[in-house]
Each structure stands twice: as structure tokens, then as C-alpha cells.
Chain A
Amino acid sequence: MTKESTKRPAHAAWRRLKKNKIAIAGLFIVILYVACAIFAPYISPHDPTKQSLADSFLMPNAEHLLGCDEFGRDILSRIIWGARISLLIQVSSVIVALLVGISLGALGGYYGGKLDELIMRFMDILLAFPGMLLALAIVAMLGPSVRNLIVAIGIYSVPQFARITRGAVLAISANEYVLGAKAIGESDLSVIVRYVLPNALSPIIVQTTLRMATVLLTASGLGFLGLGVQPPNPEWGTMLSSARMYLRSAPHVAIFPGLAIMITVLGFNFLGDGLQDALNPRLKE
């Protein structure tokens, strides 16, 4: 019986999100992270790849706020530039996953029947692999490079999006406006694009945000295993991997990239959970 806001649903969702302190903290972290990635050349205090053996394992000080690594490279600068590579991997691989996953999920959910069975069983097979192992296998097959990393992580994220989209499409297709659209002669493609998918956005947005966190972890994990971004490019997982040898003598070299991963992942998860509550207010009650 509550009076609906007279604004568009997005406004109402934003209002609910604003009230959620944890989600706003997450949003803040995500914005900071994206800003680092975009403005890396302007804000990083030093060249991330410039070695200076005299500064090896330098502890944090005024000149190098987070200290230096084993080659005397400024850790803060490397973390800032690392955000750039991570964001590139996250966005590209999630776009790959979104495009493929939404198409497959929408097709399966909308048409149902044999096609749906076929698509979803294939997704089940993909899901049956431990995620990391699947990405690992793909990268091992294609060879380690940023592009292959994106393809690998993209493929391994497809089933999640396909499932979420299919569920949403199934629920939305039951609405009478979908039948009404067919009654005025809309084509199937038009029904899917104009009537079904716009109403399936909420779960997809939530899933995208949460997936960003998983993808970052996977990319760092692959980097850590030496199959991700190759040194000397500053990627957080790769940084962590080379720092682990000096964990006792110079823990800060490992701690800061580790913290960067942790905080960023938390940021995306906080934001994703907040969006979930904001976009589906009924679920929470």
C-alpha cells in the first residue's frame, strides 16, 4: 500500500542504496580503484618499472609511501598501475562473459525446450570444472598473455551469466506484456531486446558487480601462478608471487599488493550485495 515514488525505478534504487553504509563504502572503493586505473599516468609518483637497485626493499618513507620492491621499484606506483591492468582484464573478460552468457541464457529461457536443455547442460559441464582449473587449462593451452587471460576468464564466467539471465528471462516471459508484445506483432528478437532483457537487468547488474570481484581474484591467482600477466608488468598477483620469497625479510613488499587485492575485492562484494538489496527491495523484507 506504500505510495510508489513518482520517479523512475532507478531513482528509488539509488535512494535505497544511499542508505546502505556498507554499499556506499564499497562504491567508494570501486570509484577509487577505477580512478587509479584511469589516471595512473598522472597520479603515480614514480615510473612503475624503473629499477633502482640502491632502493631495494626500501621501507615505506616520505619519498616512497609504500616502500620499494626487490628491484627498488616504487610499490605504490606499481599498485596504481596494477589497477589499470586488473581493470582492463576485469572489464574485458566480464564483457565477453556478458555477451555470450546473456545471449545463451536469453535464448534458452525464451525458447525453452531442446535448445534450452542443450545450452544449460553445456553450462553445467563448464560449471563442473573447478573455475580456476578451467582458466588455468585455457591459459596453459593458449599461452600466457593478457589477451588469453581475458578469453580464459571470460569463458569461465559465461555459465554464471547464462544461468542468471535464463532464470530472469523465464520469470519475465510469464508476464502478460510479453504476450501482448507478440499480439501487436513484435518479432522474437524485438520481444527479447525490448521487453524481456530490460526487465532482467537487476540480477544481471548485481551478478556483474559480484563477478568483478571473482574475476580479479582469478586474474591475480593466475598471475601468482605465473600464468597471468608477465613481469615486469605490475599486476597485483604477479607482484605477490615474486614478493613471497622475501616474506620474512621484507614483508611490506607482499603485504601491500595483498591488501590492494583484498580491499578491491571487498569493495566489489559490498557494492554487489548493496545493489542486490537496492534493486530487489522485496527480497530483504
Chain B
Amino acid sequence: MPTLVSAEKVLKHFPIGGGILTSKPTGWVRAVDGVSLSVEKGRTLGLVGESGSGKSTTGLLLLGLLKPSGGRIFFEGEPLEELLRRDPRRFRRRAQIVFQNPFASLNPRMTVKDIVGRGMKLHGLVESDRELDERVAALLSEVGLKEEHLNRYPHEFSGGQRQRIAIARALALNPEFIVLDEPTSALDVSVQAQILNLLKGLQRLRELSYLFISHNLAVVRHMSHEVAVMYLGKVMESAPKDSLFSDPLHPYTQALLKSIPKISFPPEDIEKKVIEGDIPSPVNPPSGCPFNPRCRRAVDICRAEMPDFREVMPGHWVACHLV
């Protein structure tokens, strides 16, 4: 499978503090700390992690909406930096994003037509206002909305419908790659199913490549072909979906999978499946493997050295000293 987007040891550190008089920052948030991953053409890479794992930041880096502090990102083999310098607008057409919160991701002062059509207008993809109307109406019907919604404002829609508008907006420029940043986390389960099915259908139809970011492992399992697990700015494990869910190798992945409350009978004993301790702050991450303070199997080397991210089976990568 050819690769569409890839990241090599990408870093993003945000400065803390530093004003007009004190130009030196007082510290760094290591939001993304050496992430390598790749999204294949027409496929979905699921990116899971808890808060502070840096998964959303990674998404913005791949879109060029944030500048990496280090490492390299490639888009169809070309360095992203180069693409953005040569023709930033052209790149914008190729990569788009759908956000988590449908109540904050649509401009409340714009009509649906403006929201969805703005990109096409901006990039000169339509000749006339009538053509714009037609194109937007076609996009709306593709995401399951009606033409009569064209001149309404976002507040007139439910959360699920807004997310459909956001998807239409992302599709308007006919991109190859879409970052889906927790696209269903704010939705009810019955609506979530509709949106997930829609996204899968669109992927088949338009041969889209997705980076699907979520904290919900069940949703990631349903949506992804490959999965990467992040913790405190680092990828701990990445593998084809089946291999990751049936044979997780990293202690963090294993514990995470166990600690999800499942529908089962007899009910599982949640008390036996707990990962102890709090998630450390990315401002001051633990030395060595970031998971070591919570890892039951941690040994001395885990506290001293960050393990390499190694391919232990074909396509199955792990960063753990003990594997």
C-alpha cells in the first residue's frame, strides 16, 4: 500500500511563559515528542490516546497548521515544508480536518452555504454563484442533508447534523487526506453510528485517507485499518488493527484495553483491571519510558532510557524494553 502522509520523529514543544521583558520561556510543554507514523492511501490510521498524549497536536502538525519543532513530515514523498512554501493554497486543497465539537467548529454567523462553499470560492473552483449553489447542494446531499438547509445558520441544526455540515465543508475542496479529530465524541451513540457509517462510505467512494483521532478504542477499532497508541507525546505501539487488538504488546496498550468497561455477562471485575496512578503532565514527563511510573512490569532500564520504537513483527511497532 503506498503511503500518503508520514511523520518521522516529529517534535512539537510549546514554550511556557515569556513576556515582553522576560523573553526566555520558563519551560516547555512537550506535546509531541518524537512521533513517527504513516497513513496509507485510501486507509485509516487510528490514533488513540488519553488527554495530554498529543494526538490532536499530531493531527495539526500533519496538516501544516502547526510548525513542528523538529522532525520531518512527508506528503506523497515530498516534504510538507516544501509543499507549503511552494504553494500553500494547493496543499490546503489536499488535506482537510473535521473537529470534535460541532458547536465550536462552525462559524455561527455564516450560513451553511457560506460555510461549505467558502473554500471553493476562495480557491476559485466555481465560476458563478449558481454553480456554487449546485455544488454545495450536491455536497449536502452526499452527507445526508437537504438542499433546503442551504441558507440556514448552524444553530438551527442538531449536533449530528452540524457534524455532517463540517464533513461537507471538509469535502468541498475534494481532499485526499482528512484528519478526523474526535469527530463523534460529542455525539450520542445512535447519532455516532450514523456519522461513522457516513465516514466509512465516503472513504470507499472517494478513496480518502483518514487520520482518525479518538480516545475511544471501540470507535477506533471500528474505523481503522492501522492503529497507533500515543502516551505523553510518544507513540507506544502501532500495528494493523487486528494485531493490535488481539495481540497488544505494550503494557500500556494492554492495560488500556482491559480498563475499558465492556458490555459483558457476567460483568467483568473492573477493580482488577485498573491502571494505577495519574497521567503525568507533559510539562515534566517522567524520565525514560513515560509510562514507567504506572507500569507494573517496569524495571530499572525503563526509568533511565526511552526504549526505541522497533518493528517486532511485520508492521507491528513497539516502544518497550520488555518486548
Contacts and interface: CB of A to CB of B under 8 A. Distances in A.
User: Would A and B touch once assembled, by the CB under 8 A criterion?
Assistant: yes
Interface of A: 4, 6, 8-9, 114, 117-118, 121, 175-177, 179-186, 194-195, 198-199
Interface residues of B, number: 33
B89 A179 contact: no
A229 to B, nearest CB: 39
Contact of A121 (B20, B89, B99, B119): B20
Contact of A176 (B88, B104, B109, B122): B104
Given A177-B105, A182-B65, 6 more contacts: A175-B104, A176-B105, A179-B97, A181-B118, A184-B122, A184-B172
B99 A118 contact: no
Contacts of A186: 118, 122
B197 interface: no
| The 8 nearest A-B residue pairs measured at CB | A185-B92, A117-B20, A184-B119, A176-B105, A176-B99, A198-B109, A175-B104, A177-B107
A146 to B, nearest CB: 36
A194 B96 CA distance: 19
B20 A176 contact: no
Contacts of A8: 153
Contacts of B89: 185
19 contacts: A6-B156, A9-B153, A117-B20, A175-B104, A176-B105, A180-B97, A180-B99, A180-B169, A183-B65, A183-B95, A183-B96, A183-B97, A184-B92, A184-B118, A184-B119, A184-B123, A184-B173, A185-B119, A199-B107
B101 A176 contact: yes
Contacts of A176: 99-101, 104-105
Residue with the greatest number of chain B CB neighbours at <10 A, chosen from A184, A185, A195: A184
B165 to A, nearest CB: 11
B155 interface: yes
A177 B122 contact: no
Contact of A179 (B65, B88, B93): B65
B236 interface: no
Contacts of B104: 175-177
Interface of B: 19-20, 60, 63, 65, 88-89, 92-93, 95-97, 99-101, 104-110, 118-119, 122-123, 153, 155-156, 166, 169, 172-173
A114 B156 CA distance: 40
Contacts of B19: 117
Contacts of B95: 183
A126 B125 CA distance: 48
A121 B169 CA distance: 40
A183 B92 contact: yes
Contacts of A114: 20
Contacts of A199: 107-109
Contacts of A183: 63, 65, 92, 95-97
Nearest to B93: A185
B106 A177 contact: yes
A177 B169 CA distance: 11
A45 to B, nearest CB: 46
B156 A179 contact: no
A184 B96 contact: yes
Contacts of A4: 155-156
A8 B65 CA distance: 32
Residue with the greatest number of chain A CB neighbours at <10 A, chosen from B88, B96, B118, B153: B118
A263 B10 CA distance: 64
A116 to B, nearest CB: 9
A118 B123 CA distance: 35
Contacts of B172: 184
Contacts of A118: 20
Contacts of A181: 107, 118
Contacts of A195: 107
B66 to A, nearest CB: 10
Given A179-B99, A180-B99, A185 B109 contact: no
Nearest to B23: A114
B88 A185 contact: yes
Contacts of B156: 4, 6
Given A4-B156, A179-B65, A179-B99, A185 B106 contact: no
